Structure 1
Amino acid sequence: MPAAKTASSKATTAPRRQAPTLESIATRYHAQLRSLDSAGDSLSDGVVVPALREAIVEGVLAPGSRLSEVQVAKQLNVSRTPMREAFAQLEREGLVTILPRVGAYVRSVTLRDVEEIYTVRAALECLAVQLASERMTPLGAAQLDEVINAMRASVEADDAAAYVDALDRFYTIVMTIADNRTLQQNHASLIGPVRRLRRIAMARGGRMRASFEQAVRIRDAIVNGTGDVQDLMREQLRGACAAALDVLNNASK
């Protein structure tokens, strides 16, 4: 009995991760902007766009939410000047819808979005892993091992948010090793929608572990230069696409 009471007490006092807000996300980007030699960076590029992108991807701003220039500027601690530019950029990324004379809204994810984005991802990321396997370096292998360890720790802790962050880094490292600027630029243009879909897919039970096990196979194929790396990448994307479609279909019932 005393042991059970102690365990209950520990559970009660265990710290809980606070849910992010748009204000807290913006504060972090303001701090990053001040800490870097970023005199040439605009508030739109350095704070407004990344903060809104993260808030949409993480679900802090729900699909269908109206984005008032005045209210959002206040939450981001910026003037209204960079807001329209930022909304236009996020519309190009597929995260925001702008209706003339009405305003900006957080764009909902459709089944067609999922299918189209994963089709394009397959083309880009299969090329990326092939190039990475041909251009692998000891540093690249070490970086992949480090991020795989972070992914493993997140799976063991059942921390989907941390896992997706690590998975984002995994793909960033692959793109860096691939060393193709045109490929990187095209992949970067999908960054918002891709991260949003990753987080949606992880809501399906068992997806995180399946994703990790396949990522380990992809890592091994890249580092060892085996010929099946593109097939493994396609298999990973098929699983992710199916998971995202499943979550969205269930949500609509």
Structure 2
Amino acid sequence: MASATKRAQAANLVEAPERALEAIGRKYHSKMRTLDASSDSLSDGVVVPALREAIVEGVLAPGSRLSEVQVAKQLDVSRTPMREAFAQLEREGLVTVVARVGAFVRSVTLRDVAEIYTVRTALECLAVQLCAENITTLGRAQLEDVIGEMRANVAANDPAAYVDALDRFYSIVMTLADNRTLHATHASLMGPVRRLRRIAMARGGRMRASFEQAVKIKDAIATGDKRVQDLMREQLRGACEAATAVLKETEGG
């Protein structure tokens, strides 16, 4: 009897990620408002965002194999959009595709975190400098809007919503920097650290510290303050330390 109970519990653990991925897929299908769509639109509108969310939220664990057949079934799509979706997620650093083997959820190492934040620092310091030099009235309004959203998330103690708003903050900064190569390079770095950042934001005042520094960065951009790069560097130093701490805990070291 005990062995039967253990087998049932193990089956539930296996099925839980599958059910969670199916629920996420339904959400993105609903956003598209139709299942009668092209493979390209399904890849961009359902498969990529659903898998991205599942990986970032930890529904799909690092090292998990992503079967085209199984994932397509869970997301209620054909296999046609799967290959392009896996390729896009590999460009984002969330998936590793091994030829003739398949796709796997990418694991993040301490070296990955160190290297990513070194490059992020260079890119984001340049981005905020370009913003500060070329800020417009519209740009200031966009930054104020997203900061307002971040403030509300902090007040509600909602780390998941805060991280989504923080992503929007960085996206606005990259757009205002008006450098397509910079924007594309930055986007390719963000995937691997998003899950660690979501965990970190729920801990020990990290969300409030991140927000307070983001306000300083916003103000510096709006006024053309020459200290804007130093402020961004300080923000990223704290973010790197938080991500490193989370990874060390998850690795048990």
* TM-score for both structures, normalised by structure 1: 0.84
2:229 match: 230
Deviation at 1:148, TM superposition (A): 1.0
1:102-117 alignment, distance < 5 Å? 102-117=101-116
2:204 match: 205
Deviation at 1:204, TM superposition (A): 3.4
CA distance in 2, matches of 1:86, 1:108: 18
Structure 1 residue 45 corresponds to structure 2 residue 65: no
1:1-253 alignment, distance < 5 Å? 21-34=20-33, 41-251=40-250, 252-253=252-253
CA distance in 2, matches of 1:25, 1:179: 33
8 A Cα contact 1:201 1:241, kept in partner: no
Deviation at 1:105, TM superposition (A): 1.9
Contiguous gaps of at least 5 residues in structure 2: 1-15
Deviation at 1:82, TM superposition (A): 2.0
2:231 is matched by which residue type in structure 1?
Answer: L
Report the 3-state secondary structure (helix = DSSP H, G, I; strand = E; otherwise coil) of the residue aligned with 1:97.
strand
CA distance in 2, matches of 1:144, 1:194: 23
CA distance in 2, matches of 1:232, 1:153: 22
Report the 3-state secondary structure (helix = DSSP H, G, I; strand = E; otherwise coil) of the residue aligned with 1:151.
helix
CA distance in 2, matches of 1:120, 1:28: 34
Report the 3-state secondary structure (helix = DSSP H, G, I; strand = E; otherwise coil) of the residue aligned with 2:103.
strand
Deviation at 1:169, TM superposition (A): 1.0
8 A Cα contact 1:144 1:173, kept in partner: yes
Report the 3-state secondary structure (helix = DSSP H, G, I; strand = E; otherwise coil) of the residue aligned with 1:190.
helix
Q: 1:161 to 1:218 in 2, by over 3 A?
A: same
CA distance in 1, matches of 2:38, 2:245: 45
Deviations 1:70-100 (A, max 9, x none): 1110111111122223223322322122344
- RMSD of aligned Cα (Å): 2.2
**More helix as a share of residues:** 2
CA distance in 2, matches of 1:232, 1:51: 34
Residues matched between the structures, number: 233
Deviation at 1:23, TM superposition (A): 2.1
1:109 is matched by which residue type in structure 2?
Answer: V
1:15 match: none
CA distance in 2, matches of 1:70, 1:125: 39
2:55 is matched by which residue type in structure 1?
Answer: I
1:209 is matched by which residue type in structure 2?
Answer: R
Deviation at 1:41, TM superposition (A): 4.1
8 A Cα contact 1:217 1:232, kept in partner: yes
CA distance in 1, matches of 2:236, 2:185: 17
8 A Cα contact 1:203 1:247, kept in partner: no
CA distance in 1, matches of 2:104, 2:40: 26
CA distance in 2, matches of 1:39, 1:85: 13
Deviation at 1:216, TM superposition (A): 0.7
2:225 is matched by which residue type in structure 1?
Answer: T
* TM-score for both structures, normalised by structure 2: 0.84
8 A Cα contact 2:40 2:81, kept in partner: no
- Identity among equivalent positions (%) equals 77
Deviation at 1:248, TM superposition (A): 1.2
